[in-house]
Amino acid sequence: MELITVNTKEEMARLAAEIIAKTVSEKPDAVLGLATGDTPVHTYSLLCEKCSEKLIDFSKIKTVNLDEYVGMGYNDKQSFKRFMFDNLFDKINIKHENIHIPDGKVADIALECENYDRLINSLGGIDLQLLGIGHDGHIGFNEPSTEFIYETHKVMLDPVTVKANSRFFKNENEVPRFAITMGISPIMNAGKLLMLAGKDKKEILMQAIFDGVTPSVPASVITKHKNLTVIYCNE
């Protein structure tokens, strides 16, 4: 594991954008695993800038997102799909058919989960997976549990997550209670993992990377990955 500590969010985003850009230039048809949330927003804006300056080309890139709320789609402004279009996809030269996000609106969620794993396999897996970490130690929406769940699955959000994500909604009651999340397998099978965490995640991040692997802190599993970079920002 490479643990890089930086002082500012700007520096964290710049480094992360450089790592992603390097993957894209080395493998122009790479599969990028993407995350939503506050942490990667500036990284995405730097990637958009690089793309408008023609320093990075997303025309052959494929993406798979980690998660989506059950019941939400592009027309819901808090959906992860909408987040990704607003913060990245609408501003880069990616082909829409190469964008993949679990569909929270389908009637058969179990089938959507199975199809999502099949899709990731058919793409040949993920080359680089970008990750944030929840205050409860989640990655994607793999919430603390007694066992790791390896496949894409429907998950009931932990009360800690519901509270944390209520900042995007009018109030806590409006936060969906269920989500679809990529499981641990596609994440751990990715060629490279890049985790970003700010100061508010210090305690849980240190627990995840130094206190041993346990499903009660799902992010701890990434310490077993052979190509992991964690960028921690002291701001």
Residue 60 or 128: the one with the smaller Cβ distance to ligand F6R is: 128
Give min distance, CB of 68 to ligand F6R, in A: 8
Catalytic residue among 42, 127, 138, 153: 138
Strands (E), the chain: 2-6, 31-34, 62-65, 67-69, 99-100, 128-131, 153-156, 178-181, 192-197, 228-233
Residue 23 or 43: the one with the smaller Cβ distance to ligand F6R is: 43
The partner residues of 129 in beta bridges, in order of sequence, read 33, 193
Residue 39 or 98: the one with the smaller Cβ distance to ligand F6R is: 39
Give min distance, CB of 72 to ligand F6R, in A: 13
Residue 143 a catalytic site member: yes
Cα 14 to Cα 5, 64, 71: the distances in Å are 13, 22, 34
Give min distance, CB of 54 to ligand F6R, in A: 28
Give min distance, CB of 80 to ligand F6R, in A: 6
Residue 18 a catalytic site member: no
Residues that bind ligand F6R (CB under 6 A): 35-39, 66-67, 80, 132-134, 138-140
Query: Coil, strand or helix: which one is 44?
Result: helix
Name the closest residue to ligand F6R (Cβ): 132
Catalytic residue among 143, 153, 158, 225: 143
Which residues, at least 6 apart from 126, have a Cβ–Cβ distance to it below 8 Å? 31, 32, 33, 64, 120, 186, 187, 189, 190, 191
**Catalytic positions, written as ranges:** 67, 136, 138, 143
